[in-house]
Homo-oligomer: A and B are copies of this chain.
């Protein structure tokens, strides 16, 4: 395929994708279906997993701290998205039913998580790796919450 054909093809593909996305947006109702809700919250948790692992590599000194603030902010953003993602009461995925039967406790933990990561993100702007490391311990209580609210992986 020549360069210009390839370019026309790429443009056509983009227009096709845009049309498809816009059609979907028009056809869908505002309420997400159950499978989408589960897929979406799993994406948010995956994103948190990568973000906190990358942040861990920075604070442990494996990677120079150029992106300290970007990664800390990413984690804080996702913590905020995570609470939203669990609001629809849709059982399934790796979530235990206790997420919703003990919603007061679960949502409080998620609020604290969002608040502490936001605090950590704020401090990260100063470039103080040691302080971010210290805050990170409390800001990322992943295991505690997973032990209570996530089914064990097979």
Contacts and interface: CB of A to CB of B under 8 A. Distances in A.
Interface of A: 10, 14, 17-18, 21-22, 24-33, 36-37, 39-40, 43-44, 46-47, 50-51, 53-54, 56-57, 59-64, 66-67, 70-71, 73-74, 77-78, 80-81, 84-85, 129-130, 133-134, 136-138, 144
Contacts of A26: 61
A18 B14 CA distance: 47
A57 B40 contact: yes
B74 A32 contact: no
A134 B18 CA distance: 7
Contacts of A24: 60-62
Given A37-B63, A40-B62, A67-B85, A22 B133 contact: yes
14 contacts: A10-B144, A17-B137, A18-B133, A18-B137, A21-B56, A21-B133, A21-B137, A24-B60, A24-B61, A25-B61, A28-B62, A40-B57, A46-B46, A67-B81
A129 B21 CA distance: 11
Closest 4 interchain pairs by CB?
A28-B61, A47-B50, A43-B54, A36-B62
